[in-house]
Chain A
Amino acid sequence: MPPSDADPGPPEGQGLAVAAETLYLVNLLLVPGVAFVILLVLYFRHRASAPALALGHLQQTVAASLWAGLLLILVNGLILWLGGYDRASTWMVLLLYFVSCHAALVLLGVVGLARAMAGKPYRYPLIGPRLPTGN
């Protein structure tokens, strides 16, 4: 029998949780779309069987990615459409909005990734659904 202070090892589902958060960040920073598709595949493949920790991170990152798409693509498209392509004010609002919003979404992902690496659940503020029971 191992001693009581032995390292219990990573919590169940931590690898999947880290993968979900990483894909969320990769979707925002490196290969938008492709990483999201992989994240969706992970989600649909594991949603019935994943441990609570992993399921929580998968649900959060899928929801946050959808919000990110809405906030970054739709809202920017709206700004461009309403403001007009050839106006300085449009580009000022658009760039300020895009950079601030994108950076905020990335920072939320960083916190999510750090929580996943520590084996802890994380709910994205405002845009994340409720955590599944067990978290």
Chain B
Amino acid sequence: MQYQSQAVAKPYFIAAIALFVGQILFGLILGLQYVVGDFLFPEIPFNVARMVHTNLLIVWLLFGFMGAAYYMIPEESETELHSPKLALLLFWVFLVAGALTVVGYLAVPYATLAKMTGNELLPTMGREFLEQPTITKIGIVVVMLGFLYNVGMTVLKGRKTTVSVVLMIGLVLLAVLFLFAFYNPHNLVKDKFYWWWVVHLWVEGVWELIMASILAFVLIKITGVDREVVDKWLYVIIALALITGIIGTGHHYYYIGTPTYWLWWGSIFSALEPIPFFMMTVFAFNMVNKRRRNHPNKAATLWALGTAVMAFLGAGVWGFMHTLAPVNFYTHGSQITAAHGHLAFYGAYVMIVLTMISYAMPLMRGRAAANSNKSQVVEMWSFWLMTVSMVFITLFLTGAGILQVWLQRYSEDPQPFMVVQEKIALFYWMREVAGVIFLIGLLLYIASFFVGRNEPEAVAK
């Protein structure tokens, strides 16, 4: 670790992993509720479990992004962080606010939570992924502003690199687009239209910038490839991500009351969305093949390559599968969407945060470059267990989705939703088994931080 203040990333990463465990536990509860409908009812109803599952994902990824930025920015800027104290203060504010929100979801009915938190003063609650009480949303804005001020000041006083500038653009736009969470028009079409400005433009727009910059940073460090080469790739990737992703928002505007030209705009531009992910895969493999040194942190290299591959599969291939308007007419909101969501989030964002943690954590814990071989072996086992089980989760959900579309929407004699759900229960059971294996992988990942701590550091071969 080159700068002392980079250490503020550590609590962010630890919190991210802890919340990740919570997310997966609620995912398993949800998975079981698909087939055992009254499991944990009325203590944890399905809608609450789903809300906690998705909200925890968003919050822990934000923790991961902030941790990554706090680690990367001082090193890229070649200067200490503007205010490590502010970073730690904001960490606790964000963590307490997040924890109170989840407790609120679980402890009281959602309507009561809305009343308790004064939602009627500025109604923003009740929308998928943006269920947080208004007060929490204001807290998120405050934390993001403090965070942007902190990293922004660091960038301004130090060296400016393509990696840090792209990261900053991604983070600033992330904060700006979140402001649309406060816009809650009565018109349902308008509501959905702008709701996607947060949800879609985050994950298929500006988060890709954050992802690409983190990937570039880690690849520069582990391969020793010239920064100029990486910069060129980065320019092309982010340009393509924005060109395709922004108008690609249109694939959410099919058949919801928006003008019909969105059927064309959405189809064409979102069909191009796999291109930046494809480029990222070529980029990652190209950098590793052109590496100038063998870095001893093999686990971080594996995560970096895995991110590129799985993001291409999850966001690119599985997104393309149902992005064209005539296909989406049948598949919208089916288990095919769930399959895509799982693999895309895991491949693009979970894995990039784990890549960063894998690279940075050994350095923050006093290692010169990497963990011991033993620790890395456990970590690589966790990589394969989580990744392969997520692939199976995706395949099972895709199979379920195809059957669902056929039986419920495509056949000449469409069957009711719940009848079809019973017919695809076998897929849900298989998904649950894969989910348990994913949890085992995650527990192994945590174990890798403790295994081989007293053994010597791995050396490059």
Contacts and interface: CB of A to CB of B under 8 A. Distances in A.
A92 interface: yes
Nearest to B321: A99
A113 B290 contact: no
Identify whether the interface residues of B are mostly helix, strand, loop, or mixed.
helix
Contacts of A89: 403
A95 B276 CA distance: 24
B282 A103 contact: no
Contacts of B288: 114
Interface string A66-88: 00000000000000000000001
A110 B289 CA distance: 12
Contacts of B281: 107, 110
Nearest to A103: B317
Contacts of B22: none
Interface string A95-123: 11001101100110011011101101000
B290 A100 contact: no
A88 B411 CA distance: 9
B289 A115 contact: yes
Nearest to B313: A103
Contacts of A95: 398, 402
Interface residues of A, number: 20
Main secondary structure of the interface of A (DSSP, over half): helix
Nearest to B316: A103
Contacts of A118: 286, 289-290
B278 interface: yes
A111 B402 contact: no
Given A96-B395, A99-B317, A99-B321, A114 B289 contact: yes
A9 to B, nearest CB: 14
Contacts of A107: 281, 309, 312-313
Interface centre among A100, A110, A118 (most CB of B within 10 A): A110
B282 A114 contact: yes
Q: Which of B289, B309, B312 has the most CB of A within 10 A?
A: B289
Contacts of A106: 278, 317
A119 to B, nearest CB: 9
A88 B309 contact: no
B285 interface: yes
Contacts of A88: 402-403, 406-407, 411
B399 interface: yes
Given A107-B309, A107-B312, A110-B278, A96 B286 contact: no
A117 B402 contact: no
Nearest to A94: B402
Interface string B274-288: 000010011001101
Interface of A: 88-89, 91-92, 95-96, 99-100, 102-103, 106-107, 110-111, 113-115, 117-118, 120
